[in-house]
Structure 1
Amino acid sequence: MEWLMYVSIAIVAVAFALLVFYLIKTLQSLKETMNNVSKTVEDLQGQVEGITNESTNLLHKTNALADDLQRKSDSLNSVFAAAQDLGVTFQNMNTSVKRVSDSVSRTADQRSEQVAKAVQWGNVALELWTRYKKQKETNV
């Protein structure tokens, strides 16, 4: 019966050895996986730092561009204000020209009536002169 105990101890020892062997293999595989994960995390960290630097640079450029656009917009506002003032000036000038034109037109209408009357009187005078001459010729 003693031999059964030795066989049992041998089986337990072999089973323990196999367990330790496979446990070592698993731990080595786990170590390799952890090394790969560590390397991947380091690479990812480097990429994130690069992206962060590029994002910061892009943000600075965007802010500079926004400032430049603001300055240009402010200078354009003064141009548009000047154009608006020029438009008001032209509108005032057009109003003045229209008033002068209306005044000249009214004066011309009044004078044209006077000219028409003068022409009528001239025609009457010419007609009288012509009759006078005819009478004078017939009397002679």
Structure 2
Amino acid sequence: MDVLLYVAAIVAAAALVVLIVYLVTTLKAAQRTLNNAADTLANMDSQMQGITSETTELLQKTNHLADDVNQKSDKLNALFEGLKGVGETADGLNQSVRKLSAQISAAASKNQEKVAEALKWGNSIIDSFKKKKNY
């Protein structure tokens, strides 16, 4: 019976050794996985710092560009205000020309008979000069 106890103790010790070997193997695999995860996180951290610096630089450039566009827009607004003044001046000139044209047309309509008579006299004088030249 003592032998049986020794055999049981040896089997239990062997099972314990096998269990410890598997446990050590599992823990080493877990350690490698955790090391890989730590390396991945370290790489991601350095990449995130690069992305953050590039994003900050891009934001600064965008702000500078927006300021530049605003300045140029203000300059264009001043130009358009000037053009508006030119347009108003041209409109005033057009109105003056229309009034003058209307006055001339009205005066010509009033004196239409006199103008027609003057044209007839003028044509008569020209005809008589032509006839004298031909003789």
Deviation readout 1:78-106 (Å, 9 max, x if unpaired): 11111111111111110001101111121
Point out 4+ residue stretches in structure 1 off by more than 2 angstroms. Answer: 108-120
1:112 corresponds to: 112
1:85 is the counterpart of 2:85 = yes
Identity of paired residues, percent?
A: 40
Q: Which moved more, 1:104-113 or 1:24-33?
A: 104-113
Aligned pair in 2 of structure 1 residues 21, 84: CA closer, same or farther (>3 Å)? same
2:31 corresponds to: 31
1:9 CA displacement: 0.6
Q: Distance in 1 between matches of 2:118 and 2:66?
A: 76
Look up the SS of the partner of 1:70 in the other structure. helix
Q: Scaled by the length of structure 2, what TM-score is found?
A: 0.83
1:119 CA displacement: 7.0
Q: Distance in 2 between matches of 1:4 and 1:15?
A: 16
1:54 corresponds to: 54
Q: Distance in 2 between matches of 1:85 and 1:32?
A: 78
Deviation readout 1:19-66 (Å, 9 max, x if unpaired): 111111111111111111110000000111111111110011011111
Aligned pair in 2 of structure 1 residues 26, 70: CA closer, same or farther (>3 Å)? same
Q: Scaled by the length of structure 1, what TM-score is found?
A: 0.80
2:9 corresponds to: 9
1:116 CA displacement: 3.5
Q: Distance in 2 between matches of 1:115 and 1:13?
A: 141
Q: Distance in 2 between matches of 1:94 and 1:5?
A: 126
1:21 corresponds to: 21
Contiguous gaps of at least 5 residues in structure 2: 122-135
Q: How does 1:88-107 map to 2 (within 5 A)?
A: 88-107=88-107
Relative contact order, CA 8 A, sep 6+: which one is greater?
A: 2
Deviation readout 1:111-136 (Å, 9 max, x if unpaired): 3322345678x7xxxxxxxxxxxxxx
Q: Distance in 2 between matches of 1:119 and 1:108?
A: 13
1:66 corresponds to: 66
